[in-house]
């Protein structure tokens, strides 16, 4: 009798242990507290997608000395080391989020990086970079393709859970305002500043709404940096500096307003908005405050301010470029992109910055929110 009772209890215990597993035998189960990170944007966030498209070397960072500080080889990131999303993934206890186009990246439960150097919110058909970059609408298309793959591996319910828990991080728009001045684009010639910014914001918010429709609820945004004062702008087109800056300021104001409207329109929509503009401006004007020796010149490049895009010697300027001795002393690594040290400082502002720099939530708060708190 005692043996039968023990046998019965053992079977019950096994059934209890096996039940949660057998419910997911045909599919992959998600860890209960997983919050994935999905990344959209431009060269500030591109972890190497442009390595895998037919583009020019001007939109790639896959040559030495890019990546020298952390990875010890060029990964496609436009910095000497890690980018802002790399640090955010670390803080959120996620692995590095690989580029979506990486050929050996079949798993998306931790997130995916869709960003492309040179990308903007405008469609490539209407931009000056047609065919060379992955614009925001195409990044959205890739996201939808990824959702289809997730549904096949996780099932409908688990995919919905993953997408609703995830954080969606954006850096987009700088190229929409800077690129037309360095190309033959006619967009700005036939639009007022207000009309042009409205077009960029309109494309951007359409993508946000579509991700929300797919289940996204938690979003992180950087406003645009003072691109009119980048080393590249000051070296190549200083006469356009003030107009680019005026457009960027108008965009930042419009984006802040648009996000407030989306909060009232979209169920469960929560967002974090970080003031990149002020950080870069202060870093350029007072580099010592942030531990830099140089705030207005790039570490790698040539010409005035090392603002000519020649870092690595494989771009339109071949073989000739200058490289500083210590990138951590510089706000900018090349003509337009922060050093790894600056990226880390920015990531910390996104992650746990106070309301002076990041509002109405920081990313730590968004990653920490449970599903019941955002619906």
Q: Give the pLDDT of the chain (375 residues) as one tens digit per residue.
A: 444 443 434 333 333 333 333 334 344 566 667 799 999 999 999 999 999 998 888 899 999 999 999 999 999 999 999 999 999 999 999 999 999 999 987 679 999 999 999 999 998 544 445 568 999 999 999 999 999 999 999 999 999 999 999 999 999 999 999 988 877 666 777 789 999 999 999 999 999 999 999 999 999 999 999 999 999 999 999 999 999 999 999 999 999 999 999 999 999 999 999 999 999 999 999 999 999 999 999 999 999 999 999 999 988 777 789 999 999 999 999 999 999 999 999 999 999 999 999 999 999 999 997 644 544
- Please give the DSSP secondary-structure letter assigned to residue 99: B
The residues, any chain, with a CB within 8 Å of residue 169's CB and separated by 6 or more, are: 37, 38, 39, 40, 41, 45, 85, 88, 219, 220, 221, 363
Of these residues, 212, 310, 337, 339, which one is catalytic?
A: 337
- Please give the DSSP secondary-structure letter assigned to residue 183: S
Of these residues, 43, 79, 171, 339, which one is catalytic?
A: 43
The whole-angstrom separation of Cα 61 and Cα 47 is 9
Whether pTM exceeds 0.75: yes
> 131 phi and psi, to 5 degrees?
85, -10
> 337 phi and psi, to 5 degrees?
-125, 140
Contact (Cβ atoms closer than 8 angstroms) between residue 213 and residue 267: no
Contact (Cβ atoms closer than 8 angstroms) between residue 237 and residue 342: no
Phi-psi region of 97 (alpha: psi -120 to 50; beta: other; left: phi over 0): beta
3-state class (DSSP) for residue 106 = coil
Q: Is 257 a catalytic site residue?
A: no
Q: Is 334 a catalytic site residue?
A: yes
Of these residues, 116, 171, 334, 339, which one is catalytic?
A: 334
Instruction: Provide the CA 209 distance to its chain's centre, in angstroms.
Output: 18
Q: Is 185 a catalytic site residue?
A: no
Gyration radius of the chain's alpha carbons: 23
């Amino acid at each position: 009798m005692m043996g039968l009772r023990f046998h019965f209890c053992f079977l019950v215990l096994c059934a209890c242990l096996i039940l949660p597993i057998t419910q997911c035998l045909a599919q992959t189960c998600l860890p209960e507290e997983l919050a994935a990170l999905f990344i959209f944007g431009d060269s500030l966030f591109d972890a190497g997608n442009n390595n895998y498209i037919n583009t020019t070397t001007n939109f790639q960072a896959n040559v030495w000395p890019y990546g020298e500080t952390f990875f010890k080889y060029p990964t496609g990131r436009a910095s000497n080391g890690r980018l802002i999303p790399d640090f955010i993934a670390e803080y959120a206890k996620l692995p590095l989020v690989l580029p979506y186009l990486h050929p050996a990246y079949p798993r998306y439960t931790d997130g995916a990086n869709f960003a492309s150097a040179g990308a903007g919110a405008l469609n490539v058909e209407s931009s000056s970079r047609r065919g060379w970059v992955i614009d925001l609408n195409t990044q959205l298309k890739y996201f939808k393709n990824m959702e289809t793959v997730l549904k096949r591996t996780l099932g409908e319910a688990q995919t919905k859970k993953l997408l609703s828990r995830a954080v969606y991080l954006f850096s987009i728009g700088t190229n929409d305002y800077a690129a037309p001045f360095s190309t033959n684009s006619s967009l700005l010639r036939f639009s007022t500043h207000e009309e042009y910014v409205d077009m960029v914001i309109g494309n951007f918010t359409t993508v946000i709404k579509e991700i929300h429709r797919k289940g996204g609820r938690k979003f992180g945004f950087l406003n645009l940096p003072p691109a009119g004062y980048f080393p590249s702008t000051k070296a190549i087109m200083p006469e356009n500096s003030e107009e680019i800056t005026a457009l960027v300021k108008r965009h930042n104001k419009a984006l802040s307003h648009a996000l407030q409207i989306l909060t009232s329109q979209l169920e469960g929509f929560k967002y974090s908005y970080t003031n990149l503009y002020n950080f870069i401006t202060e870093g350029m004007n007072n580099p010592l405050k942030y531990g830099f020796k140089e705030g207005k010149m790039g570490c790698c490049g040539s010409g005035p301010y090392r603002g000519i895009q020649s870092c690595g010697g494989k771009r339109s300027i071949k073989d000739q470029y200058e490289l500083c001795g210590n990138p951590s002393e510089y706000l900018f690594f090349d003509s337009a992109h922060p050093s790894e040290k600056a990226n880390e400082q920015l990531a910390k502002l996104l992650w746990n910055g106070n309301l002076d720099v990041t509002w109405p939530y920081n990313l730590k708060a968004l990653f920490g929110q449970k599903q019941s708190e955002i619906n």
